[in-house]
Amino acid sequence: MTVKLSDLTPTFRAKVETLLATCIGKEVRMAPTFTLRTPSEQAVFWRQSRSIVEIKKAIDMLHSEGANYLASVLDGVGAHNGPHVTNALPGNSWHQWGEAVDCMWEVDGKFIDSDTKKIEGVNGYQVYAHAAKAIGLDSGFFWKSFKDSGHVQLRGDANPKSSGYSWRQIDQAMRQRFGSPATSHAQSFSADVAMATSEPIRLAYAAPEGWRVYETTDRSAAVFRSSFAIDADGAPKAYHKDNSKALDYLANAGRPGNWWALEIDGNDEPVVQSSNDPAPGYYVSKTSLENPGFDPTDPRRYIDASTIPYVVLPGSRYQQFTQAANIRLGDLAAAYNIKTGKMSFAIFADTGPRTKLGEGSIALAESLGLHGNPKAGGTDARSIIFAVFPGSGAGRGLSGGEIAGRIQSIFDNWGGLARLKSYQGI
């Protein structure tokens, strides 16, 4: 699956962009959750609520109609269980043709799955449906037999079959677009869209600021693609009253009365390291994750950004990134730089602003081939793919070797680097 509007046909994409802009103008945010969907994924959705007898009958019908490719796809995806979500066999949904989009109404970073509930007198799905109808699109909100309020499509015909295509013609179109059954699970006609597959992955969180996080559902992991800002917190030389001596600007540690990145004393003043500490004269910089057994004024209590590759997640929002298990401080992650081809394991050691996604330690940046200077490093390009694994950590700091030793088998069983690299389209 993919949520990219660029995978829609040009005519439909233009209309969808107009539709979404119209909704925004009415103070309704509709977030795309599905655009292109492969025959394999359609087959999973169709099969998950059908009996073995129904499935065999459909496979036999497709073979008899000369749709051998689609029959192989329907047979090849295997058994799946779940709710009834579609009546369309693979190929017979406009999603496979790039002519359909599913959206959800988003309010304050949360999806509202109701076409009757009103917030401040407005229901987003109703606004969305009427706006779609006004520009000539067909909205599932108005369907009688199988209402689908988030669905909008280009054509008024329910599906390709009702539009006049034979099963043989649909089969040929799908084969040409998506490849052989053996490869249709891993490819789409858009080379940069890894999401247009039968991958077990779902949109887990859509932020009002525009960034998104996905969850892999076979083996739980939060996956996202972002830029990379450098975090110096926890490094002995992170902050100093003289900015020219420190790794980062003191303003990034807070301000008097609110030093979020510095340990403070009883007078709310930043603690300065003594002659027995790693960096005398520098402030004690802290991280959200701590090493137990050390005093709060001891720099060893915190995770050293200059030596430990760690990832930063936004505020408490990370708790909404996975459903199978909650992500906690100390859980482990993998990061891949699309531009440099470098990968690194990391630990979730610090929390940042709720509005931003894509931050990591100096050591992680350097491991990914980025300039690690907190004052001028990182990258504004969305070239880093992260996967964070809930339940993988120890609830405390780990050395680089301990991180790698603990996560390697988890990462390999999840699918390893090949799988991580495949999500360049998110």
Specify the pLDDT at position 183: 39
Provide the H-helix boundaries in 158-295: 167-178
Q: Which CA distances in Å does 15 have to 34, 137, 150, 424? A: 16, 8, 15, 26
CATH domain 5-193 topology: Muramoyl-pentapeptide Carboxypeptidase; domain 2 (3.30.1380)
What residues pair up with 386 in beta bridges, in sequence order?
A: 224, 335
Question: What is the tens place of the pLDDT at every residue in 89-122?
Answer: 999 999 999 999 999 898 876 778 899 999 999 9
- DSSP letter at 177? H
Comparing 242 with 33, the larger pLDDT belongs to 242
The tokens describing 356, both together, are 């931003």
Least Cα distance to 357 among 222, 248, 259 occurs for 222
Least Cα distance to 253 among 160, 352, 142 occurs for 352
Sequential DSSP letters for 241-260: SSGGGSSS-GGGG-BTTB-T
Lowest-confidence region among 93-97, 188-192, 350-354, 401-405: 188-192
Whether 189 has a pLDDT exceeding 60, the answer reads no
**CA distance linking residue 310 with residue 315, whole number of Å:** 15
Q: What is the pTM of this model?
A: 0.58
**CA distance linking residue 352 with residue 358, whole number of Å:** 10
**Mean pLDDT, residues 282-304:** 97
| Contacts for 289-294: CB closer than 8 Å, 24+ residues apart | 289/329, 289/330, 289/347, 289/348, 289/349, 289/350, 289/396, 289/397, 290/396, 290/397, 291/396, 291/397, 292/396
Contacts of 276 (CB under 8 A, 6+ apart): none
Comparing 422 with 93, the larger pLDDT belongs to 93
Which of the four pLDDT bands, split at 50, 70 and 90, describes residue 46?
Answer: very high
What residues pair up with 224 in beta bridges, in sequence order?
A: 386
Specify the pLDDT at position 3: 66
Residue with tokens 């059954």: 181
Query: Are the C-beta atoms of residues 413 and 339 closer than 8 Å to each other?
Result: no
Whether 193 has a pLDDT exceeding 60, the answer reads no
Which of the four pLDDT bands, split at 50, 70 and 90, describes residue 195?
Answer: very low
Contacts of 365 (CB under 8 A, 6+ apart): 228, 230, 371, 372, 377, 378
Specify the pLDDT at position 180: 56
In the chain, which residues fall in CATH 3.30.1380.10?
Answer: 5-193
Contacts of 53 (CB under 8 A, 6+ apart): none
